[in-house]
Amino acid sequence: MSAVDQTEVAQRLPSGIERGAIDCDIHPALSSTKELRPFLDEHWQEMLAVRNIDGLDLTSFPPKADLFSRPDWRPKQGKPGSEIGAVKADVLDHFDLKFAIANCLYGAQAAYNEYIGEVLCRAINDWLSKEWLDKDKRLRASIVVSLANPEAAAEEIERVAADRRFVQVLVLAMGEALLGRKQFWPIYRVAERLNLPIGIHAGSTYRHAHSQAGFHSHLVEDYVVQSQGFTAQVLSLIAEGVFAKFPGLRVVLIESGVTWMPALMWRATKNWRGARIEIPWVRQAPAAIMREHFRLTLQPFDAPPDPADFERLMEHFGTDEMFLFSTDYPHWHFDGDDVLPAGMPASLVRKILVDNPLKTYPRLVEAS
Amino acid sequence: MERHVIAKTSEIPPGTRKLVEVKGRQIVLINTDGEYFALLNRCPHQGGSLFHGDLIGLTESTEPGCYKYSRRGEMLRCAWHGWEFDIRTGQSWCDRRTRVRTYRTAVEDGAALEKGPYVAERFNVTVEDEYVLIEV
Amino acid sequence: MSVIEEAKAAQPAKTRLKVIDCDIHPALRSASALAPYLAKQWQEHLRDFGIRARDPLNGRAYPPITPALSRQDSWPESGGPPGSDLNFMRKQHLDAVGVEYGVLQPLNPSGREERNPDFGAAVCRAMNEWQVAEWTSQETRLKASICVPAEDAEASVEEIALQAKRRDFVQIFMNPRLREPIGLRRYWPIYEAAVEYDLPIGLHVGGNTGIPTTASGWPSTYGENHFDQSTGLQVGIANMILEGVFVKFPKLKVVVVEGGLAWVSGLCAHLDYYWSRLRQEVPHLNMSPSEYMKQNIWFTTQPMDEPENRLDIVDVFESVGWDRLLFSSDYPHWDGDDPNFAFPATLPKAKLHAILCENARNVYRFETR
């Protein structure tokens, strides 16, 4: 990477950073369920073929849409993100990363049958380990689980977390029940004990419509209403007392956008002052809980590209600790290398690229 | 600070409250089980009425689903947005920096005090009933 | 009446604020108080079956933190629930606050949510007649909203055509939550009628549709559900924009009621961000979503957002647009705003005046309609 001009420091990744940036959201892709075959037992290998269990791409992320496949990151054949050589060149080497956290969005966790969900998630975790983590020391990964059986999910987390290259538990933003519910607490119990954040990634399992409006017509609206979906999850985790019960738990909101959150902080705190009697285990203002327990990945940075707006947004957030650098590769959120928002001061670059991710993912510190 | 007679104790039995005016200020006088408390009738949030709010106990919790109840009748909820105020200190439960103006109350024998109309400017002695007076 | 209200009412008129309140909730004294406005067949139906919505309970399945969702001091001495007594409303609110015009938004019963379609249409008609008979004809400061059975676009258009002639009515009352996204074409006849009769749509939070109030199902607490009212508005107007309602009806005015304000600029940014990347999917949009927001949509101010740094609210006002803000109290609800206290004291008088009355005058055109 070329030497960096001082005036461009906020737009390009400074190559002089000591330890390299940490990309908290990249997407390795399964070309097909067949790739999971080696990680399945005989019965499931057979079922895959006999029942033609395949094509489990989430409709939330149509692989051919430009938004999910930046043209210069699109391979000549196959899905973007499916080939490790390309991932190394396009992102690990290109951005001079110290680490990148792989979030696999293959939709096994959306399967209605709990056993298919569990078995395929298990296979995905093993595939990530062998086909990705083993092949590049910079890669880390999130443990994929199905929420259909939270006890089984907790066991899977325990199993996979023995490999310390797994740094997070991954769930989708729109599921069958709100994530604060007690039924999911076995997952938070084990995640807290193992010091793994819960990563909530944009996307829907279609157990309900994308919003309380119902099923809208356009894909673009799927994306727009993700922020309301994330809002409901944040409120649920707080209101149900997940952080009262698991004070060490951290949650990372991945690919959520950022502009929706300050309004939530203010309004949730305002409501709490009057409605505290309903949730007396919430003993701090919700805004304070959000600052302490929640983090957001940088992309998509959906604020207007005006430096003054960036500054104001940071002031409204009231902290610079919440943001974690991400490219969201191979989704198309920025052109060229313009991954950092306009107006981000140089003083914040290292914090967002390195310090905040290291604090959020303690397992990364072990390796560095 | 002056002390003002504001009511007879017999007017405010335990568990009741009265709205009074002293020196142009509206004050809520509360009798909780024989103890008197007086608060300015103006929520520091947006000026709502405290006089009309519920007097409730304090519910605390460290465990979701567990409700630990104490201090019956000592938290006054603003009639508007429901903020809880500790009647002993005037402090908002949620936001410790926010306080309602409180007034010290004392129950005294009527002999030391001026008789009605409840906004006393000076002391006269009567020995008929127990009076409640406040410092303003 | 509280002594504060007495003190306010005693102020000489010229020192009081002049206010147009874009969200006041009148209430029936009881369910049976609607009967005189219903045909006999429906009176009997009301008596025997009541209102049936997509709701498990007759009472509230999310019990609110105050009875009737209302301020504790708003129960009229005459009996009846908050908002049911015009004289009490005059004393406690209209006179005390200095309301020049107040826009009524009747929430219950909702003919729109009623599952029996013919009864629902009858209830809407009855609510409209009730508003005129017991409110606007008795108090010229009050204006009414046309209740429509929105799931039946044809019946809604009929009701609008009937009521729009009366100057009592200044808008059409809808919720952002209907059985399908409100921007879908099945609801467009209502928007067409709104434009034809030059009436804004008052899009008031709420709507019981049986669709869970979040994308991950039903929340557990009243607090979450209360917040979801606001997100319901957000997704509703996002849908109206993206489905092309404002392309088809560029003159349609929508007033977003009781949603709060701080989310508006974030939603605009978010909408524009994704639209710019998926434009080919929605070629019917001629301009960016945020431009439609600025062209067609106004926002009432209650519940006032409370940023930690109080003056950040000025950023919020600026981001929504000084001419898009319409004061509302939400009287008699618990989370209402008093115009004397809800705004920072440092707000320039001209801007405050616009928010408190001039913007609403431009949108509703009370005298010139």
DSSP H or E segment with residue B134: strand B130-135
B chain contacts of residue A242, beta-carbon cutoff 8 Å: 64
Measure in Å the smallest separation between the Cα of C300 and chain B Cα atoms: 18
Q: Which chains touch A (3 or more CB pairs under 8 A)?
A: B, C
Contact indicator for A87, A81 with CB cutoff of 8 Å: yes
Segment C35-81, tens digit of pLDDT:
999 999 999 999 999 999 998 988 789 999 999 999 999 999 999 99
Please give the average per-residue pLDDT across C2-6, as a whole number.
Answer: 52
B chain contacts of residue A268, beta-carbon cutoff 8 Å: none
Q: What is the pLDDT of residue B97?
A: 65
Q: What is the pLDDT of residue C129?
A: 98
pLDDT band at C14 (very low <50, low <70, confident <90, very high): very low
SS3 label, residue A26: strand
CB contact under 8 A, C72 and B26: no
CB contact under 8 A, A213 and C177: yes
Q: Is B42 on the interface with C (CB under 8 A)?
A: yes
Provide the 10 A C-beta neighbour count for residue A158: 14
Domain residues for the domain of C319 are: 11-364
Assigned domain for C104 exists:
yes
Segment C104-131, tens digit of pLDDT:
999 999 899 999 999 999 999 999 999 9
CB contact under 8 A, B63 and A276: no
Contact indicator for C277, A66 with CB cutoff of 8 Å: yes
Q: What ranges in chain A are assigned the alpha helix state H?
A: 42-50, 84-87, 114-131, 150-161, 185-193, 219-224, 226-239, 242-245, 261-275, 286-293, 307-317, 346-350, 356-360, 362-367
Q: Is B111 on the interface with C (CB under 8 A)?
A: no
Provide the residue count of chain B: 136
Residue B122 or A133, more confident: A133
Residue A13 or B114, more confident: A13
CATH of the domain at B131: 2.102.10.10
Q: Is B57 on the interface with A (CB under 8 A)?
A: no
Q: At what angle do helices C264-277 and C222-243 cross, to 10 degrees?
A: 40
A chain contacts of residue B68, beta-carbon cutoff 8 Å: 280
Q: What is the pLDDT of residue C13?
A: 47
CB contact under 8 A, C227 and A235: yes
Beta A294-297 vs A323-324: how paired, if at all?
A: parallel
Residue B123 or A148, more confident: A148
Q: How many domains does chain B have?
A: 1
Assigned domain for C355 exists:
yes
Residue C259's identity, in one-letter code, is G
Assigned domain for C3 exists:
no
Distance CA(A236)–CA(A102), nearest Å, equals 26
B chain contacts of residue C335, beta-carbon cutoff 8 Å: 80-81
B chain contacts of residue C4, beta-carbon cutoff 8 Å: 26, 41-42, 47, 49
Assigned domain for A106 exists:
yes
CB contact under 8 A, B94 and A273: yes
Name the A residues in 171-200 with CB < 8 Å from any C CB: 173-181
Q: How many domains does chain A have?
A: 1
CATH of the domain at A165: 3.20.20.140
Out of C179, C182, C278, closest to residue A220 by CB: C278
Whether residue C94 is predicted with pLDDT greater than 60 in this model: the reply is: yes
Q: What is the pLDDT of residue C82?
A: 97
Task: Return the residue of C nearest to B54 by Cα.
Answer: C72
Contact indicator for B103, B4 with CB cutoff of 8 Å: no
> Can you tell me the ipTM of this complex?
0.94
Q: Is B44 on the interface with C (CB under 8 A)?
A: no
Contact indicator for A259, A341 with CB cutoff of 8 Å: no
CB contact under 8 A, C71 and B80: yes
Q: Is B23 on the interface with C (CB under 8 A)?
A: no
* Residue A9: both structure tokens together: 């420091």
CB contact under 8 A, C307 and A316: yes
Best of C1, C71, C222, C305 to disrupt the B interface by mutation (most B CBs within 10 Å)?
Answer: C71
B chain contacts of residue C341, beta-carbon cutoff 8 Å: 46-47
Measure in Å the smallest separation between the Cα of B16 and chain A Cα atoms: 23
Name the A residues in 225-284 with CB < 8 Å from any B CB: 240-242, 244-245, 272-277, 280-281, 283
DSSP H or E segment with residue C2: none
Task: Return the residue of C nearest to A213 by Cα.
Answer: C181
Q: Is B95 on the interface with A (CB under 8 A)?
A: yes
C chain contacts of residue B82, beta-carbon cutoff 8 Å: 65-66, 334
Assigned domain for A15 exists:
no
Domain residues for the domain of A74 are: 22-367
Q: What is the pLDDT of residue A50?
A: 96
pTM: predicted TM-score of the whole model, two decimal places: 0.93
Mean pLDDT over the full length of chain C: 94
Distance CA(B40)–CA(B27), nearest Å, equals 5
Contact indicator for C171, C103 with CB cutoff of 8 Å: yes
Task: Return the residue of B nearest to A277 by Cα.
Answer: B59
Q: How many domains does chain C have?
A: 1
Give whole-number Cα distances, B93 to A224, A283, A284, B85, C98, in Å: 37, 10, 11, 6, 33
The region, left, alpha or beta by phi > 0 then psi within -120 to 50, assigned to residue A105 is alpha
Local confidence pLDDT in tens for the 368 residues of chain A: 333 333 343 445 654 344 589 999 999 999 999 999 999 999 999 999 999 999 999 999 887 888 899 999 998 888 999 999 999 999 999 999 999 999 999 999 999 999 999 999 999 999 999 999 999 999 999 999 999 999 999 999 999 999 999 999 999 999 999 999 999 999 999 999 999 999 999 999 999 999 999 999 999 999 999 999 999 999 999 999 999 999 999 999 999 999 999 999 999 999 999 999 999 999 999 999 999 999 999 999 998 878 888 888 988 999 999 999 999 999 999 988 888 888 888 889 999 999 999 999 999 988 54
Measure in Å the smallest separation between the Cα of A181 and chain B Cα atoms: 11
Q: For chain C, what is the radius of gyration of the CA atoms?
A: 20
Distance, C-alpha C223 to centroid of its chain = 20
Q: Is A266 on the interface with C (CB under 8 A)?
A: yes
Measure in Å the smallest separation between the Cα of B112 and chain C Cα atoms: 30
A chain contacts of residue C301, beta-carbon cutoff 8 Å: none
Measure in Å the smallest separation between the Cα of A239 and chain C Cα atoms: 7
Contact indicator for C145, C107 with CB cutoff of 8 Å: no
Q: What is the pLDDT of residue C12?
A: 47
Distance CA(A190)–CA(A193), nearest Å, equals 5
pLDDT band at B107 (very low <50, low <70, confident <90, very high): low
Assigned domain for A359 exists:
yes
Q: What is the pLDDT of residue B132?
A: 80
C chain contacts of residue B23, beta-carbon cutoff 8 Å: none
Q: Is A45 on the interface with C (CB under 8 A)?
A: no
Q: What is the pLDDT of residue A6?
A: 36
Count of A-C CB contacts under 8 Å: 219
CB contact under 8 A, C270 and A217: no
Handedness of CA A123, A128, A131, A134 (dihedral sign): negative
Q: Which chains touch C (3 or more CB pairs under 8 A)?
A: A, B
pLDDT band at C16 (very low <50, low <70, confident <90, very high): low
Q: What is the pLDDT of residue B113?
A: 39
Best of C69, C208, C214 to disrupt the A interface by mutation (most A CBs within 10 Å)?
Answer: C214
Q: What is the pLDDT of residue A2?
A: 37
CB contact under 8 A, A277 and B92: no
A chain contacts of residue B66, beta-carbon cutoff 8 Å: 281
Measure in Å the smallest separation between the Cα of A274 and chain B Cα atoms: 4
Q: What is the pLDDT of residue C195?
A: 98
Q: Is the peptide bond before C181 cis (omega within 30 degrees of 0)?
A: no
Assigned domain for A10 exists:
no
Q: What is the pLDDT of residue B90?
A: 86
Count of A-B CB contacts under 8 Å: 48
Measure in Å the smallest separation between the Cα of B74 and chain A Cα atoms: 14
Assigned domain for C32 exists:
yes
Domain residues for the domain of B123 are: 3-135
Segment C315-357, tens digit of pLDDT:
999 999 999 999 999 999 999 999 999 999 899 999 999 999 9
Whether residue B126 is predicted with pLDDT greater than 70 in this model: the reply is: no
